[in-house]
Amino acid sequence: MEERLWHQHYDYNVETSYRIPRITVFDMLGISANAYPDKAAINYYGSEISFFDLRQMSLRMANAFLEMGIKQGDRFGIHLPNVPQYPIAYYAAMSIGAVIVNFSPLYTPDELVPLIEQTGVSTLLTFDMTVPVIKEVCKRTKIERVIATSVFDFMDGAEVSTPESLQLEEGWFHFSQLLDGSTNNSKPKVEIGQDDPAMVQFTGGTTGIPKGALLTQRNMVSATFMIKLWGSAVIELTPPERRTVLVALPFFHVYANIVCLNWAMLNCATMYIVPRFEIDPFMDLLAGIDRITFFPAVPTMINAVVSHPKAAEIDLAKKIDLLNNGGGPIPMDLIEKVENLGIQYGEGWGMSETTSIGIGNPILGLKKQGSIGIPLPMMDAKLVDIETGEKEVPIGEPGELLVKGPVVMREYWDAPEKTAAELKDGWLSTGDVAIMDEDGYFFIVDRKKDMIIAGGYNIYPRDIDEVLYQHPKVADAISVGIPHEYRGETVKAYVVLAQGETCTEQEIIDFCKEKLAVYKVPKMVEFRDELPKSAVGKILRKVLREEEAAKLKS
């Protein structure tokens, strides 16, 4: 690849380009199953499944799928929390060339129906707590096959569910019965190419139907290898026999899919699976684990963990080797807390459209506070004029971030016009506004759509958010531009106070006045018990903006 400004800052063992193996997603499971067959691939509340058994179960399930009539190219919906059934079904479907379509288990029937119809899902795997939801979905759209399971079915000592106990509809399939009834563990004879579709990952959407990023086998294998290689300077200090990954991010999001599930296969790492992130039970779980090699997370998780009273009691600093943040910017004071603990830390940027990765801070090398880092190997990036989307902007000037490389999606599912608008000559328009410095480090200024234009000033909400998080009484905060008759827009802050704290609107405004230009200071502050968040814990600015717009209409 042509030498870029940022290549000089790669860690000592990271190359600018690699020959990624021409293998499939399923083949990555075979690497760990061959090298460490008896090591636990999964630890689920103390119940373990070895790498060898995970591969055998996936192959048996794959052959059961073929018997059911599931074919290469069919869309296979997974509607599960983090449970062992997810990786079993995931690798089974991948081995026959089915296309995974991920659904949050929190989705309502109104949210599921259009997504299922959009992608033509023919088989849906769900679980006990959402059986009533899927019964309603089936009344409104055609799904050929429904498979159901229970969150307790792979927990040692728990009674395995039955179709009757789950109150399944006639004709529905039971996951454990399918697995137990299949004895064929030979690899399906299906030719799967690197450019074949592997997954449809929906982008975050709060209105209308989210776009479905179509990711290929090459995208997913490349992303997994790139993350493995990027972190290798630290990860390889831990022998494979002892490598672990803490999976608190949901498998149904591509971030966890790559940096937890597939990453574990390439690194022969045991996955400690957490079905739902609740801080007190999570800290109890962490207390019982000797050491975590890799903990990918989002800012809300990191803040909850390092600020918890038990953090010192369980010797958190000795528990975690490498902590990685994605899914949103992390406040500076939180980075300092992690660094003060002595935990190795990395922060990066990615989108569903880039298989969740793309830019990251070196693990051992130069890190810059507030920067998302530098493009990963084989990735290219540039900043273009926000208005025209064409001419590159000078170093230090804000522009829209465009990226190109092996992890960029093939297209949006069944949306050629959207694909053509956002993907040109391999360059993906990200919608993020960023600045590149003289070393090639990128700093996200904000989302293009989030920029506030108030009284002729361009205001980037992230500047305000950083200040809000510095207030000692603030636990969570975000700023939003809302319509204003005179200024066009004005700044409003939404704040969640730390437990036991009280605060006034004027106190927050006065604090901001000390640290921000007058035109950036919030004119209104609304206190809330919680802020709207996505499935991975990212605060949804768009939801708050839409709430304000709805107030004006009513």
Mean pLDDT calculated for residue range 230-259: 95
Exposure class string for 87-124: b at 16+ Cβ within 10 A, else e? bbbbbbbbbbbbbbbbbbbebebebbbebbebbebbbb
Q: Is 418 helix (H, G, I), strand (E, B) or coil?
A: helix
Give the pLDDT score at 208: 52
Task: Give me the CATH number covering residue 382.
Answer: 3.40.50.12780
**Domain presence at residue 33:** no
DSSP secondary structure string, 292-332?
Answer: EEEEEE-HHHHHHHHTSTHHHHTTHHHHEEEEEE-SS---H
Give the pLDDT score at 205: 43
The answer to whether the beta carbons of residues 272 and 245 sit under 8 Å apart is yes
Mean pLDDT for the chain?
92
Burial class (CB in 10 A: 0-12, 13-18, 19+), 548: middle
Q: Please tell me the number of Cα atoms within 13 Å of 212 on its side-chain side.
A: 26
pLDDT interval class at 457 (50, 70, 90): low
**Global pTM value:** 0.85
- pLDDT tens, residue by residue, 21-48: 999 999 999 999 999 999 999 999 999 9
The answer to whether the beta carbons of residues 469 and 448 sit under 8 Å apart is no
pLDDT interval class at 207 (50, 70, 90): very low
Q: Is the pLDDT of residue 261 over 90?
A: yes
Last residue of a domain, one of 143, 160, 192: 192
Distance CA 204, CA 534 (A): 8
Q: Is the pLDDT of residue 291 over 70?
A: yes
- pLDDT tens, residue by residue, 45-76: 999 999 999 999 999 999 999 999 999 999 99
The answer to whether the beta carbons of residues 410 and 195 sit under 8 Å apart is yes
Higher-confidence residue: 249 or 545? Answer: 249
Distance CA 380, CA 59 (A): 37
DSSP secondary structure string, 439-499?
Answer: TS-EEEEEEGGG-EEETTEEE-HHHHHHHHHHSTTEEEEEEEEEEETTTEEEEEEEEEEPT
Q: Are residues 307 and 409 in the same domain?
A: yes
Q: Are residues 267 and 337 in the same domain?
A: yes
Give the pLDDT score at 485: 65
- pLDDT tens, residue by residue, 369-422: 889 999 999 999 999 998 888 899 999 999 999 999 999 999 999 999 999 999
The answer to whether the beta carbons of residues 305 and 323 sit under 8 Å apart is no
**Domain presence at residue 486:** yes
- pLDDT tens, residue by residue, 500-535: 999 999 999 999 998 887 878 999 999 999 999 876
Q: Are residues 98 and 174 in the same domain?
A: yes
Last residue of a domain, one of 447, 468, 486: 447
Can you point out the beta strands (E) in 54-105?
Answer: 75-78, 99-102
Q: Are residues 422 and 509 in the same domain?
A: no
Q: Are residues 324 and 440 in the same domain?
A: yes
Q: Is the pLDDT of residue 424 over 50?
A: yes
Give the pLDDT score at 157: 93
Q: Are residues 82 and 177 in the same domain?
A: yes
Q: Are residues 433 and 493 in the same domain?
A: no
- pLDDT tens, residue by residue, 151-178: 999 999 999 999 999 999 999 999 999 9
Task: Give me the CATH number covering residue 509.
Answer: 3.30.300.30
Q: Are residues 506 and 460 in the same domain?
A: yes
Q: What is the CA radius of gyration of the chain?
A: 23
pLDDT interval class at 484 (50, 70, 90): confident
Give the pLDDT score at 458: 65
Give the pLDDT score at 20: 96
- pLDDT tens, residue by residue, 330-377: 777 788 888 888 898 888 899 999 999 999 999 999 989 889 999 999
Q: Find all residues with CB under 8 Å of 333, minimum gap 6, and list them.
A: 469, 470
Name the nearest CA neighbour of 246 among 339, 319, 317: 319
Q: Find all residues with CB under 8 Å of 125, minimum gap 6, and list them.
A: 76, 77, 78, 79, 80, 85, 89, 147, 148, 149, 175
Q: Find all residues with CB under 8 Å of 161, minimum gap 6, and list them.
A: 128, 149, 150, 152, 153, 174, 176
pLDDT interval class at 2 (50, 70, 90): confident
**Long-range CB pairs of 461-464, under 8 A, 24+ apart, other chains included:** 461/491, 461/541, 462/329, 463/516, 463/520, 464/491, 464/493, 464/512, 464/516, 464/520, 464/522
Q: Are residues 435 and 458 in the same domain?
A: no
pLDDT interval class at 448 (50, 70, 90): low
Q: Which domain holds residue 546?
A: 451-553
